């Protein structure tokens, strides 16, 4: 166990009162990103599972907050000044933090540490609702809650400590002269890439929706039930993301207030470039633009901006978004048609692939030398360790609390099966033609 | 095969870690980090291929 400096002096500077006040306001706006993703998840699922999808998002936010309070916050080490570290090759490799149990002493912690903790509470909630969308129409509430508990108690604290506090990825710059260490100001890696990998592990374990991949022919199209929810969710997500990226830049990169407008402009440009390109690609491929894929493109642009919006130029942000806009519809199609992966919300692509691209792009466009290699090492850590860990944990959990609803529950819909009533009781329910 | 793929992925990660420690020279270090990532990608592809369901075994 080693001692680390308190977070107030991280980066060598404490925050001014103006920075503290602005960061608090930004963090109070950031939950709109979670609201947006929850609405998108609901809209892209079926109408007979809509209430369960939205209630699930609410429950996951609650579960992650409670579990992070009891377990995760200690291991993330945001409030503490101790850590478990390995010493090898003359370097210190901080693996996880040792903060006070139950946030003991939070009121006497520095305001910067309290804000960092609030950021992590929001980040872990966002992380948990990403795979929830991928399991739409078949993932039980109980399964969602226990998986969220594992994410908040084990997986996220590890990633957060490595990347944001004083973990070995954050120290790559000091220890190995790799740029400024792993660059991920607003969670492209710790939240979105890990969320996308969680979604992939979940989809592998839970399997596709009934009737999605019939014995013969192409996969069955199961469109979302409300494009309005989805597109309104995108607009809400923009507000949240502008605040999230700016708050992350102040907290973890110590970006001066004068540079925050550029961070916000870069976020907007990345999303704009992505949605324009996705609009064009789907218009070209299908004859008409696809609303749900455009929403995916928009969100992918926001996710891709999360790593480096504070350090790149506006034209680079536009390019990063544009690339995300190109691959989003193609990867969604590849996963469904070639790999038989049933991901109703496209979370694996939107959060996983776009998060990965955002991390790489931050290394490409960062002015620091050696930054690209630091990004590669961080990606290797998240991909090579987190995916096997997530699959193992979810597989064990699935044995204890089965993730998937029984076939009868899937047939009548998650609302009726789990909640006893539908989200839209006045709707006429037609026979589902997809069961063939 | 999916478990084999999942085991190969951490092996790739440890290769990147070894590259950091063993090679101070940036060119060699970069090459070995890329090799580690390539090994991870190999494990990832193997895992994905193992999860593709055969069409005949799909549920009706």
Query: Is the model more confident about A108 or about A63?
Result: A63
The pLDDT score that the predictor gives to residue A23 is 96
Q: What percent of chain A has pLDDT over 90?
A: 82
Would you say residue A412 lies in a domain?
yes
> Measuring CA to CA, which residue among A158, A154, A126 is closest to residue A244?
A126
Residue A330 has a pLDDT of: 96
Residue A7 lies in a domain: no
CATH number at A305 reads 1.10.3430.10
The pLDDT of residue B36 is 96
Burial group, residue B35, by CB count within 10 angstroms (0-12, 13-18, 19+): middle
What is the ipTM score, two decimals? 0.93
Place of tokens 């009162």: A17
**How far is the alpha carbon of B29 from chain A, nearest alpha carbon, in Å?**
9
B59 Cα to chain A: minimum distance (Å)? 7
pLDDT tens, position by position, A160-169: 999 998 899 9
Judge contact between A307 and A358, C-beta under 8 A: yes
Residue A173 CB neighbour total at 10 angstroms? 18
Whether residue A220 is contained in a domain is answered as no
Cβ contact B20–A88 (<8 Å): no
**3-state SS of chain A?**
CEECCCHHHHHHCCCCHHHHHHHHHHHHHCHHHHHHHHHHHHHHCCHHHHHHHHHHHHHHHHHHHHHHHHHHHHHHCCCCCEEEEEEECCEEEEEEECCCHHHCCHHHCCHHHHHHHHHHHHHHHHHHHHHHHHCCCCECHHHHHHHHHHHHHHHHHHHHHHHCCCCCCCCHHHHHCCECECCCCCCHHHHHHHHHHHHHHHHHHHCCCCCCCCCCCCCCCCCCCCHHHHHHHHHHHHHHHHHHHHHHHHHHHCCCHHHHHHHHHHHHHHHHHHHHHHHHHHHHHHCCCCHHHHHHHHHHHHHHHCCCCCCCCHHHHHHHHHHHHHHHHHHHHHHHHHCCCCCCCCHHHHHHHHHHHHHHHHHHHCCCCCHHHHHHHHHHHHHHHHHHHHHHHHHHHHHHCCCECCHHHHHHCHHHHHHCCCCCCCCCCCCCCCCC
Q: H helices of B1-60, where?
A: 2-22, 26-51
Please provide the average confidence, as pLDDT, over all residues in chain A. 92
Cβ neighbours, 10 Å, residue A334: 13
Q: Residues of B near A (CB-CB distance < 8 A)?
A: 2, 6-7, 9-13, 16-17, 20-21, 26, 29-30, 33-34, 36-37, 40, 43-44, 47-48, 51-53, 55-56, 58-60
Residue A205 in contact with residue A150, Cβ under 8 Å?
no
As for how many domains chain A has, the answer is 1
* Nearest residue in chain B measured CA to CA from A200: B48
- Whether A305 has a pLDDT exceeding 60, the answer reads yes
Is B16:B32 a contact under the CB 8 Å cutoff?
A: yes
CA distance A50 to A254: 40
Q: What is the pLDDT of residue B2?
A: 83
Cβ-based contacts of B52 with chain A (< 8 Å): 339-340
Q: What is the maximum alpha-carbon separation in chain B?
A: 57
- A→B interface, C-beta within 8 Å: 88-89, 91, 172, 176, 204, 208, 210-211, 213-216, 339-341, 370, 373, 376-377, 379-381, 383-385, 387-388, 391-392, 435-436
pLDDT tens string A16-27 = 999 999 999 999
**A209-254 per-position pLDDT tens digit:** 998 988 877 888 899 999 999 999 999 999 999 999 999 999 999 9
Determine, for residues A370 and B26 on separate chains, whether the beta-carbon distance falls below 8 Å.
yes
B57 band by pLDDT with thresholds 50, 70 and 90: low
In a domain, A135, yes or no: yes
Distance separating alpha carbons of residues A97 and A161, to the nearest angstrom: 7
User: Closest by alpha carbon to A347, among A207, A147, A197?
Assistant: A197
- Token pair of A207 as six digits: 């399997």
The answer to whether residue A126 sits within a structural domain is: yes
Q: What is the pLDDT of residue B60?
A: 41
Residue A1 lies in a domain: no
Closest by Cβ to A213, choosing from B7, B20, B53: B53
* Full residue range of the structural domain in which residue A242 is found: 33-101+115-211+230-419
CB contacts, 8 Å: B43 with chain A: 384
């Amino acid at each position: 166990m080693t001692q680390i400096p308190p977070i107030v002096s991280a980066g060598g500077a404490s925050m001014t009162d103006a920075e503290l006040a602005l960061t608090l306001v930004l963090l109070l706006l950031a939950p709109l990103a979670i609201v947006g993703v929850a609405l998108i998840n609901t809209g892209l699922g079926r109408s007979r599972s809509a209430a369960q999808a939205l209630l699930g998002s609410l429950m996951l936010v609650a579960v992650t907050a409670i579990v992070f309070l009891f377990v995760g916050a200690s291991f993330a080490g945001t409030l503490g000044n101790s850590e478990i570290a390995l010493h090898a090759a003359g370097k210190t490799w901080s693996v996880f933090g040792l903060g006070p149990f139950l946030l003991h002493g939070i009121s006497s912690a520095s305001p910067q540490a309290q804000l960092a903790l609030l950021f992590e509470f929001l980040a872990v909630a966002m992380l948990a609702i990403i795979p929830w969308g991928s399991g739409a129409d078949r993932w039980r509430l109980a399964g969602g809650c226990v998986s969220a508990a594992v994410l908040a108690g084990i997986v996220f604290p590890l990633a957060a400590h490595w990347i944001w506090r004083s973990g070995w990825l954050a120290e790559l710059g000091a220890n190995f002269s790799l740029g400024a260490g792993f660059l991920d100001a607003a969670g492209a890696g710790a939240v979105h890439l890990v969320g996308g990998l969680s979604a992939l592990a979940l989809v592998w374990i839970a399997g596709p929706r009934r009737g999605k991949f019939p014995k013969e022919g192409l996969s069955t199209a199961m469109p979302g039930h409300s494009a309005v929810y989805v597109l309104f969710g995108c607009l809400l997500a923009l507000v949240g993301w502008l605040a999230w990226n700016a708050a992350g830049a102040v907290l973890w990169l110590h970006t001066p207030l004068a540079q925050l407008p550029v961070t916000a402009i870069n976020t907007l440009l990345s999303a704009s470039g992505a949605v324009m390109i996705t609009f064009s690609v789907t218009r070209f491929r299908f004859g008409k633009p696809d609303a749900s894929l455009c929403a995916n493109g928009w969100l992918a642009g926001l996710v891709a901006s999360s790593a480096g919006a504070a350090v790149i130029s506006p034209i680079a942000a536009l390019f990063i978004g544009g690339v995300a806009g190109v691959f989003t519809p193609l990867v969604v199609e590849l996963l469904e048609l070639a790999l038989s992966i049933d991901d109703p919300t496209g979370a694996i692509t939107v959060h996983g692939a776009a998060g990965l691209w955002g991390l790489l792009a931050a290394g490409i466009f960062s002015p620091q030398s050696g930054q690209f290699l630091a990004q590669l090492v961080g990606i290797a850590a998240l991909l090579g360790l987190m995916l096997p860990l997530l699959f193992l944990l979810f597989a064990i959990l699935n044995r204890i609390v089965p993730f998937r609803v029984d076939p009868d529950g899937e047939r009548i819909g998650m609302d009726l099966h789990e909640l006893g009533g539908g989200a839209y009781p006045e709707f006429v329910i037609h026979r589902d033609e997809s069961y063939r | 095969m999916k478990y084999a793929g999942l085991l190969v992925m951490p092996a790739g990660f440890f290769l990147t870690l070894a590259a950091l420690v063993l090679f101070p020279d940036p060119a060699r270090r970069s090459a070995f980090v890329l090799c580690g990532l390539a090994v991870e990608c190999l494990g990832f592809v193997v895992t994905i291929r193992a999860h593709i369901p055969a069409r005949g075994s799909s549920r009706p």
